[in-house]
Structure 1
Amino acid sequence: MRNTRDRIRHAIGFEAIGLLLFAPLASWAFGYDMHQMGLIGAVASLIATGWNYLYNLLFDKAMLRITGQVRKSVLVRVLHAILFELGLLVVFLPSLAWYLNISLLDALIMDIAVAGFYMVYALVYNWLYDIVFPVPSLKTAQPRPDGAALG
């Protein structure tokens, strides 16, 4: 399992890089000013950062309970990304429609496009994060020669 410091580094890195990519791409794709997309992205990022921490903690605990380990296959990574984005969709849809003064249907279409971007981004980011910062091996605590426990 990852420790709290690692989870915080993961969440902040994910949101910072995502926001740097999101604002200009969304402005170009949807035709809104970059400051509008930047504000939407910043608020969404704050909410998503909290969700990211909580979701990954719960997902890893569930994986550990169900499978006995936290290493993710490609299929599990895809499921992980989809479930993460579905949770955010519930929160973002009404606020997006209100802020941009658009219909819920238009907000849904925009949110699906954004979620698609973030699903791919989350898959790539998490995969690269696990390569750069590998999950520590789960080891049974073993006594060290000096009598202290390892693990």
Structure 2
Amino acid sequence: MRTPLDRVRQAVMFEAIGLILSVPLAAIVFGFDLARTGVLAAIGATMATTWNYVFNLAFDHALKRRFGTTRKSLRIRFVHAISFEFGLMLAFLPVIAWWMGIGVIEALIVDIAFVLFYLVYAFVFTWCYDTVFPDRDAGSDQSS
């Protein structure tokens, strides 16, 4: 299992890199003001950082309990990424509508776009993170 410090490093790195990539992209795609989009992303990143820590801790405990290891197969990585994003999406939808002053349907479209971006990003980031900072409990093979 990862240490609390390692989990904090993972969550902070995930959100920082995600912000750098997503804010300009979202502002361009949706025609939103860059500053307003940046604040929205910062709110989302704060929510996501907390969710990231709690979700990954619970997910690893569930893996350890079910399989005896935190090693993630390709299938488990897909389940991890999808379930993480779905939980965050439900919490972030009303925030998007409120902060951007848009309707729920438009907010849902923005939320889905963020989810699609972060779904791919979470999969790639977590795989890279596990490669660069391997979890000793997961064994040596993180690629399967």
TM-score (norm 1): 0.89
**Counterpart amino acid of residue 57 in structure 1:** L
Flag the 1:128–1:138 CA change in 2: closer, same or farther, 3 A.
Answer: closer
The CA deviation at 1:72 is 0.5
Q: RMSD of aligned C-alpha atoms?
A: 1.2
**In the alignment, which residue of structure 1 is the partner of 2:42?**
42
- In the alignment, what sits opposite 1:57? 57
The Cα shift of 1:94 comes to 0.8
Q: CA deviation at 1:137?
A: 3.2
Q: Classify 1:127/1:138 alpha carbon distance in 2 versus 1 (closer, same or farther; 3 Å).
A: closer
The structure whose residues are more often helix, as a share, is 2
TM-score using structure 2 length = 0.93
User: Deviation digits for residues 9-58 of structure 1, max 9, x if unmatched?
Assistant: 00000000000111100011110011111001111111110110000000
* Structure-2 separation of matches of 1:137 and 1:125: 19
Runs of 4+ in structure 1 off by over 3 angstroms are none
What percent identity do the matched residue pairs reach? 49
Task: Please say if 1:112 is aligned against 2:112.
Answer: yes
Question: What is the CA deviation profile of residues 92-115 of structure 1, one whole-angstrom value per residue up to 9, with x for unaligned ones?
Answer: 111111111211111111101110
For 1:49 and 1:129, the matched residues in 2 are separated by 16
How many Å apart are 1:138 and its aligned residue?
Answer: 6.6
Larger relative CO (CA 8 A, sep 6+): 1 or 2?
2
Per-residue Cα deviation, 1:85-135 (whole angstroms, up to 9, x for no partner): 111111111111111121111111110111000000000000000000011
Aligned to 1:82: 82
Equivalent residue pairs, number = 139
Q: Which amino acid in the other structure matches residue 66 of structure 1?
A: R
Unaligned segments of structure 2, at least 5 residues? 140-144
Mark the structure with the bigger radius of gyration.
Answer: 1
Give the distance between the partners of 1:33 and 1:2, measured in 2 at CA. Answer: 39
Map 1:1-151 onto structure 2 (within 5 A). Answer: 1-137=1-137
